Amino acid sequence: MIQWVQSDSKESRLTNKNTNPSPSNDDELMDAYSKAVTSVVETVSPAVVHLKVSGNRMGGSGSGFLISPDGFIVTNQHVVENSQEISAEFPDGRSLKAMKIGEDPMTDIAVLKVTSDQFPYLNFSDPTSVKVGQLAIAIGNPLGYESTVTAGVVSALGRSLRSRSGRLIEDVIQTDAALNPGNSGGPLVNSRGQLIGINTAIIPSAQGICFAVGSGTAEYVITRLMKNGFVKRGYLGIAGQNQSVPNRLKIFNKLEQNSGVLVVEIEQSSPAATSLLRKGDMILTLNEQTIRSIDDMHRTLDESTIQKELPIRVLREGSLRTFRIKSGEI
């Protein structure tokens, strides 16, 4: 509010009651949070691309980011699923054709490749350094708006998220950094501009609950996609369902676990078909790991189990049986 005041010399002068010093430059008014976000955006944005996809379905778009100077791009698998042509649009205006190198529906991760001069790229953070409450910055192309930045915090670690394939994705980060359709496949980074996750999902009915595949899982999958085009996993060849262990059988067999995986079907010519495993068996342990659910089976049958003779313990007709089964590869 402008107010006239009387001076000691009885001369009138114009003063501002809410006088504030004029800033010498904008940086002096920025707080630490703003500086951190601004610095990260300047560093990370050149490595984030807008992906345009055409294929058997209706064309779509999403986000991606470079992880190497020679043009490897990471995005979500569902962004490029069934694609026939993919173009990567860069912040500097370039548009390059991207080739699909590999994809893993189990973790919703895909790797693409573009060819040109050296590219800016992101580095992975140490997964053990990520803490709840730390700054989390998402950069992507929500709803087609390129190079959109949102910021928040890491809300929780160690979440699990069901992928579109039905498999459980582990090591998922929950964040309140706002994500929208089109953010899929973009990076979630820390205050140093290092990758802490790949933005992958939101809960439409809830505000402030978004998810990113953690950098530990992402790096494991990405290196294998770059090398093989797919992720190797163990395979038994069964169809199963989660099943509770009847109390009388728990007591009779002195079991502590409450559930296992009931074998409802065995594929022909599969590793399970040539083993002692039978339809109706309830799997309780595999490779010395307790099996309470299908998700436990998936966790256990990783790359290290391929072509290995694995000890398996089942409940059959009320009695415990232990034998070995050789894992195949999927």
Looking at the DSSP bridge assignments, the partners of residue 6 are 12
Segment 133-146 mean pLDDT: 87
Lookup: tokens for 184: 């899929």
Q: Considering the chain, what is the average pLDDT of its residues?
A: 89
Catalytic residue among 104, 108, 171, 281: 108
* Domain spans in the chain, listed from the N-terminal domain onward: 127-219, 234-329
Residues 233-290 pLDDT 10s: 999 999 999 999 999 999 999 999 999 999 999 999 999 999 999 999 999 999 999 9
Active-site residue (options: 61, 78, 163, 327): 78
Question: Which residues are bridge partners to 155 per DSSP?
Answer: none
Catalytic residue among 61, 83, 163, 184: 184
pLDDT above 70: residue 205: no
- The pLDDT, as a whole number, for residue 26 is 55
Concatenated DSSP letters for 294-322? Answer: HHHHHHHSSGGGTT-EEEEEEEETTEEEE
Rounding to the nearest 10 degrees, give the CA dihedral for residues 162, 165, 171, 176.
-50
pLDDT top residue among 189 and 57: 189
Annotated active-site residue 298? The verdict is no
108 is catalytic: yes
Which CATH superfamily includes the segment(s) 234-329?
Answer: PDZ domain (2.30.42.10)
**Band of pLDDT at residue 23, cut at 50, 70 and 90:** low
- Mean local confidence (pLDDT), 128-143: 92
Output DSSP code: residue 151.
E
Q: Class of the 127-219 domain?
A: mainly beta
pLDDT per position as a tens digit, 87-97: 999 998 999 99
Q: State the amino acid at position 195 in one-letter form.
A: L
Q: Let me know if 70 is a catalytic residue.
A: no
